[in-house]
Homo-oligomer: A and B are copies of this chain.
Amino acid sequence: MARGIKAVGLEDSPGGSGREDAPGRVRVVPRAVRVGLLGLGTVGSGVLEVLERNRADIERKAGRGIDVARILVRDPSRARAVAVPAGLLTTDPRDILTDPEIAIVVEVMGGTGVALQSILGALRAGKHVVTANKDVMAEHGPEVWAAAAEGGADLFFEASVGGGIPIVRAVQSSLAANSVRRVAGILNGTTNYILTRMSRDGLSQEEALAEAQALGYAEADPSADIDGVDAARKLCILSSLAYSTMCRAGDVYRQGIAAISAQDIAHAARMGWTIKLLAISDMQSGRISMRVHPTFVPLGHPLAAVNDTFNAIYVQGDPVGEAMFYGRGAGALPTASAILGDLLEAVRGLDRGGARTSCPCLHQWPVDPVDALQTRFYVRLLVADRVGVLAKIASVFEHAEVSIMSVLQSPVSQRSHPDQAELIVVTHAAREDRMRDAIEGLRHLEVVAGVGALVRLAPEDL
Mark A residues whose CB is within 8 Å of B: 46, 50-51, 53-54, 57-58, 60-61, 158, 164-166, 169-170, 173-179, 244, 300, 302, 305, 317-328, 331, 333-334, 336-338, 340-341, 343-345, 348-349, 351-354, 356, 362
Contact = CB atoms under 8 A, between A and B. Distances in A.
A341 B175 CA distance: 6
Nearest to A178: B337
A177 B326 contact: no
15 contacts: A50-B319, A58-B176, A166-B169, A166-B170, A170-B174, A175-B337, A177-B341, A302-B305, A319-B340, A321-B327, A321-B331, A321-B333, A324-B325, A325-B326, A352-B353
A318 to B, nearest CB: 7
A341 B164 contact: no
A327 B158 CA distance: 21
A167 to B, nearest CB: 9
A349 B351 CA distance: 13
A272 B106 CA distance: 47
Given A324-B327, A327-B324, A354 B352 contact: yes
A364 to B, nearest CB: 13
Contacts of A169: 166, 169-170, 173-174
A336 B354 contact: no
A52 to B, nearest CB: 12
Contacts of A356: 348-349, 352
A54 B323 contact: no
Given A327-B322, A333-B321, A334-B319, A345 B302 contact: no
A58 B319 contact: no
Contacts of A175: 164, 166, 337, 341
A344 B169 CA distance: 13
Contact of A321 (B57, B166, B244, B334): B334
Contacts of A336: 177, 319
A319 B334 CA distance: 6
A60 B362 contact: yes
Nearest to A356: B348
A177 B340 contact: yes
A169 B173 CA distance: 9
B302 A326 contact: yes
Contacts of A164: 175, 319-321, 323
The 10 closest A-B pairs by CB, nearest first: A166-B174, A177-B340, A319-B333, A323-B327, A352-B352, A324-B326, A320-B337, A164-B320, A166-B170, A174-B341
Contacts of A46: 319
A51 B179 CA distance: 11
A354 B30 CA distance: 15
A166 B351 CA distance: 26
A37 to B, nearest CB: 15
Nearest to A169: B174
A298 to B, nearest CB: 12
Contact of A353 (B244, B325, B353): B353
A340 B325 CA distance: 20
A256 to B, nearest CB: 27
A420 to B, nearest CB: 39
Contact of A178 (B54, B321, B354): B54
- Of listed A173, A336, A338, residue having the most chain B CB within 10 A: A173
Contact of A325 (B54, B244, B323): B323
A16 to B, nearest CB: 17
